[in-house]
Structure 1
Amino acid sequence: MRIKRLALNIAMIVVVAGLGSCSQQSPPQSSPSVPSTTAPTADDSSCGDATASLRPPDALPAVGNMPAGSFMATIAARGRLVVGTSQDTLLFSSRNPFTGSIEGFDIDVARLIAQAVFGDPNKIQIVVIPNSDRIKDVQNGTVDLVAETMTINCQRRSAIDFSTVYYQAGQKILVPTTSSATSLDDLGGKTVCAVAGSTSINAIVSSPAHPKLLTEPTWGECLVAFQQNRADAISTDDTILAGLAAQDPYAKVVGPRFTDEPYGLGISQAHPEFTRFVNGVLAQARADGTLGQIADRWLSRYSTPAPLPEARYRD
């Protein structure tokens, strides 16, 4: 079997480093789910505009003075914001093999919330969770919010709440540098990897070219499958693919976007005041340029960051 040894070694560094521990970072709270070979139910428009969130207050409460009885006050009393995320989505949330810290676009966005509650962006506890457990862990209170390249859609919004969109991504494909493929339509009969429970599966299984689906628990494991020739391609959001391509000199991201993937922070429906608070933080970060600076910091080396979307509200 031909293995791209250099790229495989890089990927394995990321995976192995993810097994280490770091202060204020917790291991997964549940075992990785068994990969599924079926797609999640396709999104519909039953909820109207799925990206419309709860309107923020006219002014955010002052640091150290969260409203009594609010979920923000609960977080403040605990002394840390608990954030669910991944540890192998390079550029968005991946473990730095040299420092052991999980870092990226999503982590910096979560730190904005901690800054607004505590006046300290470092008062967060990161809990690594499988992609397929994101909704469950928000619902049962394992985490206060999920920051993990999570696409907002009606199906998910029926189970949890979302912040306003903080980044607009779109699905593409990653293929070998020697490949002439530019879309899923060019991958008929080929094996395409996606993460179990991700919306990326929908486009793969509905493609008229009928590519074969391979699911793995994480995108890092999809990359290893690609490098071991168990997968001919990977298909997901262009932002995630940019991070995978950065780890593999034999891979490239190709073609136009063929889906819209609006990212939001996942929040429990039991805490609407927290959703409004988070939206207020994001509104400030859009207005003062902080959100754009975060996007530039993590994405500009590998791609042109998409224009930041305007906030939409449903009340």
Structure 2
Amino acid sequence: MRAQRFRTGLKGWGGVGAMAFACALAMLFALLLPVVRSHGEGGGAGGGADSGGRGAARGSQARAAQECTAPEQQTLSPDDADGPTIEKIRSREGEKRKLIVGVDQNSYRWGYRDPNKGGDAELEGFDIDLVHRIAEDILGDRDAVQFKAIPTNQREPAVQEERVDMVVRTMTISCDRLDKVAFSAPYFKTGQQLLAPKSSSITGYDSTLAGKRICTAAGSTALSTLQRDQKDGRLAADADLRTTVPNQLDCLVRLQLGEVDAVVTDGALAASQAAQDPTVELKGDAFTTEYYGVAMKKDADDLVRRVNQILVEWRADEAEGWQRSYEDWLAETMGDDWAKSEPPRKPKYLRKS
């Protein structure tokens, strides 16, 4: 439509010079279009140079996301060598000589405090086992950890702002996130799945979601997937996605209160939530394939390589490794077939620097 109006406006100009000028304008328009669009889509109040810069950054991220494939392979090869990031962690003195890790404290069987163990209950779960393994390798003490409870929507900022050394919190490796943080190789395979009351008419990720209120965590891959699918017509246009919460567990509370009709989250987390409430259940199969990874600062190459080496050893350890942690924490909620959740046996390390 813009091109048609533009050509109409050229009719009275005539001549080769006018056409050359038009071509120059068209080229300028094409160069500026990504910036204009990114500024208009989601730009904050205030405008000006700052919001324009943020818009340009978002446009760049969008283009990078379109070019990104197999995000779980965009990591560095394993190496057990020390480097500046690891030395900085080790140089902390006294009580501060700990690995600082962002985790969840409300995800049953992943990172939580068992209420049956009283007020002094320590964090435990599948993710917590991995954190202890990393601390033992880097600092020689599996308990040399300072846990920081991080909401779902604060995982990336916590790493970027160096509030933590890493985040181990059921965090899906995605193209969008690779623009903000570095990831380890995958340590768990999962996919987006629906959670709804057993009595619900919802049968899965299908037409039964029409007109339904769906809860997701802000900043989650669940939310971005639903928004994209609704835009592309794979999700009913009248499905209500307005309910977002800081922490995923808050969605279960909203579901219990009847404020929403369904929850979309990783199947691994959904299974744990279903285990906490016998009135809800998983509806249908997972409709995506995703992988959890350890998130670290983008320039912490030595730490990324070291964590990848630790993951290789954790997977190979049949006595106290990945499979043992699955059996201890997840078999009860996800079933004994751990192979369906196992990450690639031979991960690819495609990132070079």
Taking structure 1 as the reference length, the TM-score comes to 0.80
Give the aligned partner of residue 218 of structure 1. Answer: 247
- Uncovered stretches (5+) of structure 1, i.e. residues with no partner: 1-39, 62-66
Give the aligned partner of residue 87 of structure 2. Answer: 73
Percentage identity across paired residues of the two chains: 34
Say yes or no: does 1:208 pair with 2:239.
no
Counterpart contact for 1:43–1:153, Cα < 8 Å: no
Q: Deviations over 1:244-285 (max 9, x none)?
A: 111111011121110112100000012101100000000111
Deviation at 1:102, TM superposition (A): 2.0
The 2-side partners of 1:83 and 1:270 are apart by: 17
Give the aligned partner of residue 325 of structure 2. Answer: 294
In structure 2, relative to structure 1, the CA distance for the partners of 1:166 and 1:283 (3 Å cut) is same
Specify the code of the residue in structure 2 equivalent to 1:176.
P
Q: Deviations over 1:21-61 (max 9, x none)?
A: xxxxxxxxxxxxxxxxxxx979945234311210012xx35
Deviation at 1:202, TM superposition (A): 2.6
Give the aligned partner of residue 192 of structure 1. Answer: 214
- Uncovered stretches (5+) of structure 2, i.e. residues with no partner: 1-60
Counterpart contact for 1:88–1:94, Cα < 8 Å: yes
Specify the code of the residue in structure 1 equivalent to 2:248.
W
In structure 2, relative to structure 1, the CA distance for the partners of 1:270 and 1:42 (3 Å cut) is closer
Give the aligned partner of residue 111 of structure 2. Answer: 93
Secondary structure, counterpart of 1:246 in structure 2: helix
Tell me the matched-pair count: 268
The 2-side partners of 1:212 and 1:42 are apart by: 28
Deviation at 1:287, TM superposition (A): 1.6
Counterpart contact for 1:172–1:256, Cα < 8 Å: yes
The structure richer in helix per residue is 2
The 2-side partners of 1:43 and 1:307 are apart by: 28
Specify the code of the residue in structure 2 equivalent to 1:309.
P
Specify the code of the residue in structure 2 equivalent to 1:265.
V
Say yes or no: does 1:244 pair with 2:258.
no
Secondary structure, counterpart of 2:163 in structure 1: coil
How do residues 262-281 of structure 1 correspond to structure 2 at under 5 angstroms?
Answer: 262-281=291-310
Give the aligned partner of residue 34 of structure 1. Answer: none
Runs of 4+ in 1 over 3 A off after TM superposition: 40-45
Say yes or no: does 1:127 pair with 2:120.
no
The 2-side partners of 1:44 and 1:180 are apart by: 35
Q: Which has the higher contact order (CA 8 A, sep 6+)?
A: 1
Q: Which has the larger radius of gyration?
A: 2
Secondary structure, counterpart of 1:178 in structure 2: coil
Deviation at 1:215, TM superposition (A): 0.7
The 2-side partners of 1:42 and 1:180 are apart by: 39
Specify the code of the residue in structure 2 equivalent to 1:203.
T
Give the aligned partner of residue 309 of structure 1. Answer: 343
Counterpart contact for 2:99–2:165, Cα < 8 Å: yes
CA RMSD of aligned residues (A): 1.9
Q: Deviations over 1:150-179 (max 9, x none)?
A: 111111111110000000111111111112
Q: Deviations over 1:97-150 (max 9, x none)?
A: 234322211111111110101222111111111211111110111000001111
